[in-house]
Amino acid sequence: MGGNLKTQSHHSVAVRLNEQMGAKKGFTFIQAYRAWFPKLLMLWILVMAYLSLSIYNYMDADNKVRRVEVLSSMCDQRARMLQDQFNVSVNHVHALAILVSTFHYLKNPSAIDQETFAEYTARTAFERPLLSGVAYAQRVVNSERESFERQNGWTIKTMEREPSPIRDEYAPVIFSQETVSYIESIDMMSGEEDRENILRARATGKAVLTSPFRLLGSHHLGVVLTFPVYKSKLPPNPSVEERIKAASGYLGGAFDVESLVENLLGQLAGNQAIMVYVYDVTKSSDPLIMYGHQYHQDGDMSLLHESKLDFGDPFRKHQMICRYHHKAPTSWTAINTAFLFFVIGLLVGYILYGAAMHIVKVEDDFREMEELKVRAEAADVAKSQFLATVSHEIRTPMNGILGMLALLLDTALSGTQRDYAQTAQACGKALIALINEVLDRAKIEAGRLELEQVPFGIRSILDDVLSLFSEKSRNMGIELAVFVSDKVPEIFIGDPGRFRQIITNLVGNSIKFTERGHIFVKVHLAEPSKAMINGKSMTYLNGGSDEGVKTSVGRQFKTLSGCEAADDQNSWDTFKHLIANEEHRTDVSSNVAANNEASEHVTLMVSVEDTGIGIPLCAQERVFMPFMQADSSTSRHYGGTGIGLSISKCLVELMGGRINFISRPHVGSTFSFTANFGRCKENVVSDLKKPKLEDLPSNFRGLRSILVDGKLVRAAVTKYHLKRLGILVEVVSSIKMAVAFCGRNGSATSGNIVPPDIILVEKDAWISGEECDLNIQQLEWKQNGHIYKLPKMILLATNFGEGEFDNAKAAGFTDTVIMKPLRASMVAACLQQVLGIGKKRQQGKELPNGSNFLQSLLSGKKILVVDDNKVNRRVAEGALKKFRADVVCADSGKAALHLLQIPHNFDACFMDIQMPEMDGFEATRRIRQMESKANGEINGGLEGVARKGEWHLPVLAMTADVIHATYDECLKCGMDGYVSKPFEEENLYQAVAKFFKSKPES
């Protein structure tokens, strides 16, 4: 059956895994086009490169446009300046022509001769800075040539200084500026072009320019400006013939164009960024250079600008051409801008690409995590199912073993047989405890461990834990004690089972690793409290002090047993402040109560101190790791799995607390933890079943006692347990002080002091002094000599050696010996026996979970047990029959349905969960369906049903599966409760108590 369950479980897990994996195979848009990302990145880079180049070209073109505009502006500026200066010089030449006409021809005799002309032109040369010189040529016809030559005393010559050939007309220079005196007698019409220019000037009456040529003397390029000179006034708008007829000569001026332009550029010396050329473009096919080098290739040949020049001669056309001296500089702004844009675009593209790839990676990781999560969930389900199966498979035979052992122990056995059976039963319970620890750890790892929230009393739980280890601590001679602060409330809301588990684990570890000294459990509120000490924190009579005790090696340690502890948080120096608060707590009870009511939660501080072997420093970091111990020899020497502390840590954290420890090798360890619990309100407490602490007898209230103990911490612990019973306690450090307190030398006790009812003496105090017998005799003598009632002498001891008990009786301790560890219930039982108080117990006074009470619950009840395992049926049948129940067994769910056909007379049903054909869940569902149908018929008024009320059979799950999910499934299918295998009396009581009422036995 187990194999089939495992196979089905693994198959279902695999199917679920495949379904979940298939459901997650969809791709997102980014995932679907992830292969395009590198191509898109390359395309993006190309687009950015193109845009960057476009930006560069745009900015570079803009720079070029500005460069062209600047060149155009500068060139036009120079052209205007050159033209303006040339026009000014032309006007001066024109004025000189008018002067010659006026003073040479209109005056008779002439007012101008060569000397006058030379002097005048020299003195007015500053007005014509651009002219290298001026000269006047007279018009001479061929018929007048001889008389003209005789008159002037020289022969008319050509430009080559030869006698001029015979022509119709001549224009020899008769007046000249001193700078050009060398042209005197030269015929200005001897050259063909010059002749045409003079004739054109005479016909138009305007200035005429020659083509550029090399000036004599300076060899600069220049032009000659010619103005006609008329010997008589011309009529308005004269004709050409009238101009020709009135013409008497020609005034010419030589313009040094190179000097003119150089002078102009000199004025703009700060702006010599361009090169200037001046051309005569009268013949556009053959332009003549006037300024500049015609074949100069320097500068920026790719960019030039042309500006037109108007020198006053409509026939001649001139222009200025400008270009930059240097090629355009590299446009770093455009380059930087384009590069920056490209870089930014590249970064944006890379960021987008990286983001997309990151999204792809995240989605891949997410998908992988989803797959891992699905696998982990499937593995967790498989693990849970495996744990359930293994738990069921192990606990089922263990149920048979423990059940049969329990039935065997109820039979008549010999001492040896009973010892063997009890040993086997203890081993079985240890195995079940180990299985439970492993399952707890698994549930904690899976996050499925949930804490109960029920009321419970912490003091009774601590007493129960001490009772578990009491026998072992006595055998080892270890002082085992617990102390709970009075400020700790009586009832909490929390999980008592898990709190008990933590304390049991910590105390169990301490017992395991402690061979001498003590184990001390202390509980108090975690909130810091102010010590209110007005005097001594504990009353000592006749000179008692709070000095520590000497250990066997002579050292003093103020601890529970006198042995050195890992720290001093439980030493008397610290502990006495807590005791002081307890002594004076009545003074502030109202304030404390108000503070307590204001808070809905209580935080406890619990410490477990031992004087064991301690934890090595190298192993302290892994103390709370599961299955880890200090070293490999620990498990062999002391036993254990190393899982208890790990579980305790997890449980403490689930309770909202923290756990830590202080440990010193060869000295001991102190484990401390905090835990948060809910505060239980008074009206809730009144509705609860009385906890064990409330069953403590009240017969001892008001009794007086003297406690003889020289160890102050231990005395405080003993006083704590006695105060729980209502006994007033006075503490002294020796028997001698106790005798002094009761009276001395037969005299009556003076004052209002009442003799004690009980004297409790620690074994240490009894054997520590030589005066013990004398003290006892004095005490007895005093008591015999007066009417006071003899106090009961009680000895407190952790263990007794051979012969020590007889010695105690001989010393006067004939009443009783109370063996430690002290528990309030155990002390109460001993005192009842010694004092003879409360011996008569009523019949119904047994504890609710006792066998008698369980018999009263189950006696005569008809119970159906359903289980497919024969051994389990026998165990359940035997356990229930032990409590006088009428038991019927069924081996399957179908058989149970047949027996439970309505009407039936069963009072309860214990149903196994895992059964073939029909499991317990399905069987319970069908039972509830039958009951629902029957209840519907009852409500419909149908008769024939003898049972009053509605049908509802209590169905209790009976299984070895302890997984929490199984419990939830039990409730879902209609079950009423849960009993885990192997079950014991307490399990049975908890399961059936809420369904049945106890009845007195007849």
CB 256 within 8 A of CB 133: no
Angle between helix 114-123 and helix 37-100 axes, rounded to 10 deg: 140
What is the pLDDT averaged over residues 178-192?
87
Average pLDDT over residues 581-599: 52
Whether residue 525 is predicted with pLDDT greater than 80 in this model: the reply is: yes
**Per-residue confidence at 964, pLDDT binned at 50, 70, 90?**
low
Q: Which of 61-70, 636-645, 838-847 has the lowest mean pLDDT?
A: 838-847
Phi-psi label, residue 531: left if phi above 0, alpha if psi -120 to 50, beta otherwise = beta
CA end-to-end distance (rounded Å), the chain: 46
282, 316 contact by CB (below 8 A): yes
User: Bigger pLDDT: 238 or 584?
Assistant: 238
Task: Determine the pLDDT at residue 347.
Answer: 92
pLDDT given at position 294:
60
Q: How confident is the model over 624-631, as a mean pLDDT? A: 61
Query: Does 780 have pLDDT greater than 70?
Result: no
472-505 confidence digits (pLDDT tens): 888 888 889 999 988 888 888 998 888 988 998 8
387 is written with which tokens? Answer: 């744990």
Q: Give the pLDDT confidence of 893-934 residue by residue, as tens digits.
A: 999 999 999 888 898 999 888 888 888 899 999 999 999 988
Residue 692 has a pLDDT of: 40
Highest mean pLDDT among 54-58, 526-530, 882-886: 54-58
| Residue 792 token pair | 């009961």
- H or E segment to which residue 176 belongs: strand 173-176
- Answer whether residue 6 shows pLDDT above 50: no
pLDDT in the model for residue 845: 39
- Using one digit for the tens of pLDDT, what is the confidence trace for 227-253? 999 887 888 888 888 888 888 899 998
pLDDT digits (tens, 9 = 90+) for 688-705: 444 444 467 777 888 888
pLDDT band at 734, cuts 50/70/90?
A: confident
Pairing type for strands 659-664 and 668-679 reads antiparallel
Does residue 945 or residue 153 have the better pLDDT?
153
Q: Which residues pair with 557 in a beta bridge?
A: 549
Residue 47 has pLDDT above 90, yes or no: yes
Task: Write the DSSP symbol of residue 630.
Answer: S
Q: Which domains does the chain possess?
A: 71-324 (3.30.450.350), 454-527+558-579+601-630+641-683 (3.30.565.10), 704-743+755-769+790-835 (3.40.50.2300), 851-939+948-993 (3.40.50.2300)
Instruction: Give 679's pLDDT tier (boundaries 50, 70, 90).
Output: confident
Q: Return the percentage of the chain with pLDDT > 70, whole number.
A: 77
Which of 18-32, 291-305, 821-835 has the lowest average pLDDT?
18-32
**492: part of which helix (H) or strand (E)?**
strand 491-494
What's the pLDDT score for residue 543?
Answer: 37
The mean pLDDT value of the chain amounts to: 77
Q: Which of 87-96, 848-857, 935-944 has the highest mean pLDDT?
A: 87-96
The angle, 0 to 180 degrees and rounded to 10, between the axes of the packed helices 458-476 and 496-513 is 20
C-alpha 160 chain-centroid distance: 107
pLDDT given for residue 851 in this prediction:
60
pLDDT at 745 over 50: no
More confident residue, 979 or 947: 979
Q: What is the pLDDT of residue 18?
A: 55
Whether 541 has a pLDDT exceeding 60, the answer reads no
Q: Which residues contact 865 (CB under 8 A, 6 or more apart)?
A: 873, 876, 877, 880, 887, 888, 889, 890, 909, 910, 958
The per-residue pLDDT for 19 is 55
> What distance in Å separates the CA atoms of residue 597 and residue 599, rounded to the nearest whole number?
5
Whole-model pTM above 0.75?
no
pLDDT band at 597 (very low <50, low <70, confident <90, very high): low
User: CA 582 → CA 484, 739, 790, distances in Å?
Assistant: 11, 28, 31
Looking at per-residue pLDDT, the higher value among 40 and 637 belongs to: 40
The segment with the largest mean pLDDT, out of 341-345, 428-432, 546-550, 982-986, is 341-345
pLDDT of residue 947: 47
